[in-house]
Chains A and B, each alone.
Chain A
Amino acid sequence: MKKSSMLDLLVLVIRRDLVLAMRRRADVLTTLIFFVMVVSLFPLGVGPEMDMLRKMAAGVLWVAALLSSMLSLGRLFSADYLDGTLEQMMLAPQSLSMLVLGKMAAHWMVSGLPLVLMAPVLGLQFDMPVQALGVLIIGLLLGTPILSMVGAIGAALTLGLRGGGVLLSLLVLPLCIPVLIFGTGAVEAVSTGLSAVSHLSLLGALLVLALVFTPWVTAQALRISME
């Protein structure tokens, strides 16, 4: 297979999934609204002291991002599974890993990217300093794709199961803990006057690792679930 055709395939899958997502805009918005709601619940729960909120902000935003990305993972393969498209995709001569990578990318653009764009506004609600906000955004940019990719493994394994959504979170959340730790660690480092580079580099390393391995693992998981 030529290199260009692999890229073509990737672009094709991403475009298709984005078009499908745009046809059902409510799904995208629900995830985003969930994110905003969870974040807004925290001040109501712990009290309006600005000092505490400023300290908690990064953690709250990251946990909320983690939870809301779980919410949309169930839809990653289920629609294609139900109407038989997934079966056709697996029969296609092109690499299934590449197809899966395209679906992951589209999923991130639909459910991860809006969270990243929304985060600064919510960070301001928590009175985060500008510098910390910047690091938070970079961290989320590096981290949310990992959530989509690791989550895709769980989504493929729980394809078509009863109670799949809750099970999916149970499987994926423990695996996402390192992302949470480094993402919030970067913000914490900046706000205590240290450099965030080490945390962000580790996040980047995790992203590269995930990019290499998760599409293949997810493809294997899909084969197991579909046979």
Chain B
Amino acid sequence: MAINWFKYSAPTTFYGLAGKLIPWFALSSAILFVVGLYIGFAVAPADYQQGEFYRIIFIHVPSSILSMFLYLVMAGYAALGLIFNTRLSAMMATAIAPTGALFAFISLWTGALWGKPMWGAWWVWDARLTSELILLFLYLGFIALHASIDDPRRADRASALLAIVGSVNVPIIYFSVKWWNTLHQGSTIKFSGTSMHVAMQQAMFITLAACWLYAIAVVLARVRSIILERERNTTWITELPEVRS
């Protein structure tokens, strides 16, 4: 039996599917967060160099990874929407942007909290910090452009083009910032995670999975709202039980 993958590329069918999936993703994310943070804070030993401060990586590392990965996913959906003219892809890209920006912000915030005790400064112009900050700017630009165009179709396509241009630029920005940094000053501390304790690794991977599932759940919820908003004049929306009541 051939599976019709395109069935769920229509907002009509995807709305229902997303509604069914959200509780599962949300629940498993919550469980994994509890487990991962328990292992991270109670089971994993203190680091011999950084003491207890290192524990922030259980939030910091997953959010940095996701902030970068979500940008690529967003640009991918944007490209899909631009090439195949599928409405849902553009809605997904729009739905991902705030979550990506949130993760970028959390990553910077927790990085600053970690930097104060470890480096003695809230902020250093390290290559990774700087490129994360620029990534946040790129997210904000995407959101701002989408928000300031009234016509949803033009907003989708314009911000999609911006996301693609941004994703082409991300490696250029990353390497330029890296070279700029080595030119000015070396990294203050190199954090080599080659010999991480097993419990630390486990906790980090579990919280990473939790953040992942959280992102999916939130994006699906947001995409459902976007579908409701965009398609409010169609009959299938007015016939939905939650809209009727």
Contacts and interface: CB of A to CB of B under 8 A. Distances in A.
Interface of A: 153, 157-158, 161-163, 167, 170-171, 173-175, 177-178, 181-182, 185, 188-189, 202, 206, 213, 217, 220-221, 224-225, 227
A188 B172 CA distance: 20
Contact of A178 (B137, B149, B162, B172): B172
Given A161-B149, A181-B179, A175 B158 contact: no
Interface stretch (B18-26, B60-68, B138-146, B216-224): B138-146
Given A221-B158, A224-B157, A175 B165 contact: yes
Contacts of B40: none
Interface in B160-185: 161-162, 165-166, 168-169, 172-173, 176-177, 179-180, 183
A170 B140 CA distance: 8
Contact of B154 (A182, A188, A227): A227
A171 B173 contact: no
Given A158-B145, A181-B177, A171 B162 contact: yes
A145 B181 CA distance: 25
Nearest to A220: B161
B95 to A, nearest CB: 20
19 contacts: A157-B161, A158-B145, A161-B149, A167-B145, A174-B134, A174-B138, A174-B166, A175-B165, A175-B169, A178-B169, A178-B173, A178-B176, A181-B176, A181-B177, A189-B183, A206-B172, A213-B168, A217-B165, A225-B158
Residue among A181, A206, A213, A221 with the highest chain B CB neighbour number at 10 A: A181
A132 to B, nearest CB: 15
Interface of chain B, main secondary structure: helix
Contacts of A185: 179-180, 183
A162 B148 contact: yes
B177 A170 contact: no
A220 B78 CA distance: 14
**Which 6 pairs across A and B sit closest by C-beta, in order of nearness?**
A178-B176, A174-B137, A224-B157, A181-B180, A171-B141, A181-B176
B138 to A, nearest CB: 6
B38 to A, nearest CB: 38
Contact of B148 (A163, A178, A182, A220): A163
B144 A170 contact: yes
Interface residues of B, number: 25
Given A157-B145, A171-B144, A175-B165, 16 more contacts: A158-B148, A161-B148, A161-B149, A163-B148, A167-B145, A170-B144, A171-B141, A173-B137, A174-B137, A174-B141, A174-B169, A181-B176, A185-B180, A188-B183, A217-B165, A221-B158
A189 B149 CA distance: 43
B176 A177 contact: yes
Nearest to A163: B148
Contacts of B158: 157, 221, 224-225
B245 to A, nearest CB: 37
A223 to B, nearest CB: 9
A177 B141 CA distance: 14
A193 to B, nearest CB: 13
Nearest to B130: A177
Nearest to A175: B169
Interface in B215-237: none
A139 B75 CA distance: 31
A161 B166 CA distance: 20
Nearest to A164: B148
A85 B39 CA distance: 65
